[in-house]
Amino acid sequence: MTEPAHGVTLEGIYRARHRLAGQAVRTPLVRSAALSARFEADIRLKLETCQPTGAFKLRGATNMIAALIERHGRDALAAGVTTASTGNHGRAVAYAAARLGVPAVICLSSLVPANKVAAIEALGAEVKRVGESQDEAFAEVERLVRDQGMTLIPPFDDPLIAAGQGTIGLELMEDAPDLDRVIVGLSGGGLLGGIGAAVKAIRPACRITGVSLSQGAAMWESLQAGRPVAVAEVESLADSLGGGIGLANRCTFELVRAVMDDHYQVSQTAIARAMVDILDHEKLLVEGAAAVGLAALAEHGIDVRGETLALILSGNGVALETLDRARTIAGR
């Protein structure tokens, strides 16, 4: 069988699961009685908040580093791995590298708060403070790759990253083989694409529903244009859904195009209300990007009556002041 252009296969996702054994957590899939009653459906919550780093990103980072060691030997990564990220991906790379015995350098701008720097350093990575923007930090990553032989671990646009995230799809199919729909936040496409690749290979009838921000939805705008396009980033409670997909995107654009069935965009108010609802009714602290599935159900009145569906609660990286802001926006 010819490998798809995006490079993500069910076999690759099963290999990723083997690599993740003992490194990342098989997270719970729990039924929400409150949401099931509210939407007249059987609604399950996939708790990626239970990962050691608090988010799904650990799966992809671990798979890529482990696969590179497997293919090329540990010496090939002797110079270390690197990335630029202020949030979940940076923490994931730091954690995975430490667990797998590989040096890691995470590049951050001077604007990143000291508590985030300390959290990454606590995981064993070296932090380089460079410039006053994420772009300047990434320029340092490129220099480390070019001049010091370090290996870039990208946040989403690589088949190994997407396959790692796709292990969530395997778990969904094993724990709820009758799923009718999976609702996933859509940003760079690694999470939705990986989950979709696994689920569609096992249960083609299951719908993959993507959810983006109402503004700054780079992947959705790119799909509409038929090619990767640049979109201005906007401030949002779901900040990890912002950012571009890369004009030279080589994996996730085609992957999302292949597996996503439908798509919704959600407002700040809907995200805020969903974050507060999940905390108040489920007693789960989630970041804005993890709440967009519920936001879409509520804001767009999606008819899921009688369906069995899963919402991906992708991470818990939210500051208490952000939660307070969400309560204010939600009017609660």
DSSP state of 132: S
Distance, in Å, from the CA atom of 117 to the CA atom of 320, rounded to the nearest integer, reads 18
Rg over CA atoms, the chain: 19
* Strand order, beta sheet including 126-129: 126-129, 104-108, 81-84, 151-152
Active site (annotated) includes residue 187: no
Residue ranges of the alpha helices (H) in the chain? 10-20, 33-39, 57-72, 88-100, 114-122, 134-148, 159-175, 190-202, 218-225, 252-259, 268-282, 292-300, 320-330
Q: Which of 32, 222, 236, 314 is catalytic?
A: 314
Distance, in Å, from the CA atom of 87 to the CA atom of 134, rounded to the nearest integer, reads 12
* Three-state DSSP class for residue 46: strand
Q: Which of 57, 187, 236, 240 is catalytic?
A: 57
**What residues act catalytically?**
57, 314
